[in-house]
Amino acid sequence: MNKQLQSFIEENVPKIDAEMHRLIQLENPTTNLKESMLYSVDAGGKRIRPLLVLAVLEDFMKTSEDALKVACAVELIHTYSLIHDDLPCMDDDDYRRGKLTNHKVFGDATAVLAGDALQTLAFTILASLEEVDAKKAIQLVGLLAEASGAKGMVGGQVLDMEGEKSTLTLDQLEEVHLHKTGALLSFCIEAGAILADASEEETAALRQYSKNIGLAFQIKDDILDVTSTTEQLGKPANSDMASEKSTYPSLLGLDGAKQQLQKYHENALESLSFLKRESSLLKLFADYIVQRNI
Amino acid sequence: MNKQLQSFIEENVPKIDAEMHRLIQLENPTTNLKESMLYSVDAGGKRIRPLLVLAVLEDFMKTSEDALKVACAVELIHTYSLIHDDLPCMDDDDYRRGKLTNHKVFGDATAVLAGDALQTLAFTILASLEEVDAKKAIQLVGLLAEASGAKGMVGGQVLDMEGEKSTLTLDQLEEVHLHKTGALLSFCIEAGAILADASEEETAALRQYSKNIGLAFQIKDDILDVTSTTEQLGKPANSDMASEKSTYPSLLGLDGAKQQLQKYHENALESLSFLKRESSLLKLFADYIVQRNI
């Protein structure tokens, strides 16, 4: 991994982890609920979403007292979605990131409620920002809600479930991913743009960037599912093929998927051309998404 | 039922129902998700929460373009909680309001996601208010999130689940209900106070009112569970006794529970004494909560 990116990640991931932990403690939930919420939040992860929020600010050479909180809010939404996704009635996964899934440890009922409470907490956090004015705060609430709900992530999960019953076209597959993972990634970039006081044109360019890295992220996930071992992934490899799910490799072949990945990568970099910064973190993130092994 | 209250309800429930339906359509979710969301929203209900928001404004002789939306937001939170509550891993209920529960019609996975999306939609709605300024809007977001999450409703559900394993004291039972149902009812009253520009003192008095009607509401529910038939309730009667759950009647006896109900009722009315309005809708609501048969 690029050294500049690595040091950015190593500097910020511990801050993100600690802040999420602190924000849950602040909620002062009952013991069981707290343990269940903390279990999934503390299970780690790449933290790509919160890092992207912070990376936008870095690329704009801006700082914001609220950026870490906004970054945590979106990661809590992501975490809640994983808890619900893993439930027996959904993907029925026993392991996530090499650890037992939430419901395997706390039971299905508590897992449902911990997910629910993590979603709510994300909005509590956005309602308690200190630096941004109320107008920006309410804009962030609206954007996060749109990215997470029926129009965004949850809508994408339903599309994904429905898609499992049939072979999708490439357009349909893209539609699934633009909702399921793309919407939340786009929120990260747009939230960063808001906190960095980006112009309209800059924000539009960043939207192109986030759309392309979102799709790149998903293709890379699909490719890794085919080319990695269960041990490397921390979850069962080849699970897509086993479930006969439509993926980029199944529709385009492995080489075709790799070419498509390349295309999204190039588009992402192109949309960053407006940035004045010599060494852009967003560029490094796009590179990382394409080159990562897990 | 009192005629003034009845005409208030008959005038407003159709507006609430239509607005919730419209707000879900606006989200433009995929067919399955939309049908699942609409199924539970359109299943009806007493709509006490949204009616309370509107009743505060009436009692303050104020109007607000945004009141109906805020009222719908809280009812969507309530609806999502019912969908998740009914899941097999939670209360495992097949019927709600005389109709099959959401997961019995759409399957558990879609029911989980429909609940998730309804929660998100509540925040989308608060982020798109038109009349109130952003400062009030963000205050409403913070209050609704606090009332719904680990500190409020969801926390209460976990307390309730944990309480099922043991006999609770009266204080513990009150704690459960103050979270599980009380927090959301209090939000309704406080949201109404914000939209009506109530003073600090008025808001404090209204908080006392909402705490007392919240507890009265729950005792009445417990009493009805003992004294009604399954047909009257639209859900299994005597279910609390069957599950050996701690309730007001089980802790205080039926007569003791009725006396406690009376006490909360009187406290609620007392806290309304500041109102100038001769015939207060909030008073009529308190009467209704105590006297209702379903």
pLDDT confidence tier of residue A212, bands split at 50, 70 and 90: very high
Q: Mean per-residue pLDDT for A64-84?
A: 97
pLDDT confidence tier of residue B149, bands split at 50, 70 and 90: very high
Contact A154 B116 (CB under 8 A): yes
Contact A154 B120 (CB under 8 A): yes
Most B CBs within 10 A among A87, A124, A126, hence the mutation to make, goes to A124
What is the DSSP secondary-structure string of chain A? --HHHHHHHHHHHHHHHHHHHHHHHHH---HHHHHHHHHHHTT----HHHHHHHHHHHHTT---TTHHHHHHHHHHHHHHHHHHHHSTTTT--SEETTEE-HHHHH-HHHHHHHHHHHHHHHHHHHTT-SSS-HHHHHHHHHHHHHHHSTTTHHHHHHHHHHHTTSPPPHHHHHHHHIIIIIHHHHHHHHHHHHHTT--HHHHHHHHHHHHHHHHHHHHHHHHHHHHS-HHHHTS-TTHHHHTT---HHHHHHHHHHHHHHHHHHHHHHHTTTT---SS-HHHHHHHHHHH---
pLDDT value of residue A164: 83
Q: What is the mean pLDDT of chain B?
A: 94
Measured distance CA(A171)–CA(A290) in Å, rounded: 21
> 91-130 in B: which are within 8 Å (CB) of A?
107-110, 112-113, 115-117, 119-121, 123-124, 126-128
pLDDT confidence tier of residue B195, bands split at 50, 70 and 90: very high
pLDDT confidence tier of residue A276, bands split at 50, 70 and 90: confident
Q: Please give the sequence-ordered ranges of beta strands (E in DSSP) within chain B, or none if there are none.
A: 95-96, 99-100
* Residue B243 DSSP label: T
Nearest chain B residue to A139, by CA: B127
| Nearest Cα to Cα of residue A215 among A293, A274, A289, A151 | A289
Q: How many domains does chain B have?
A: 1
> Which CATH number do you get for residue A56?
1.10.600.10
Question: pLDDT by residue (tens digit) across B85-121?
Answer: 999 999 999 999 889 999 999 999 999 999 999 999 9
Q: Which residue has the higher pLDDT, A135 or A234?
A: A135
CA dihedral B24, B27, B31, B33 (to 10 degrees): -70
In angstroms, what CA-CA distances link B161 with A42, B90, B118?
24, 9, 23
| Nearest-by-Cβ selection for A162 from B32, B88, B124 | B32
* Residue B131 DSSP label: S
B242 has a pLDDT exceeding 80:
no
Question: pLDDT by residue (tens digit) across B30-55?
Answer: 889 999 999 999 999 999 999 999 99
pLDDT value of residue A229: 78
pLDDT value of residue A245: 82
What is the DSSP secondary-structure string of A211-259? HHHHHHHHHHHHHHHHHS-HHHHTS-TTHHHHTT---HHHHHHHHHHHH
pLDDT value of residue A140: 98
pLDDT confidence tier of residue B29, bands split at 50, 70 and 90: confident
pLDDT confidence tier of residue A1, bands split at 50, 70 and 90: confident
Contact A90 B110 (CB under 8 A): no
pLDDT confidence tier of residue A133, bands split at 50, 70 and 90: very high
Nearest chain B residue to A152, by CA: B29
A278 has a pLDDT exceeding 80:
no
B277 has a pLDDT exceeding 80:
no
Domain holding B60, by residue range, is 3-291
pLDDT confidence tier of residue A265, bands split at 50, 70 and 90: very high
Radius of gyration of chain B (CA): 18
Q: Mean per-residue pLDDT for B241-264?
A: 90
ipTM value, please give it: 0.94
B69 has a pLDDT exceeding 90:
yes
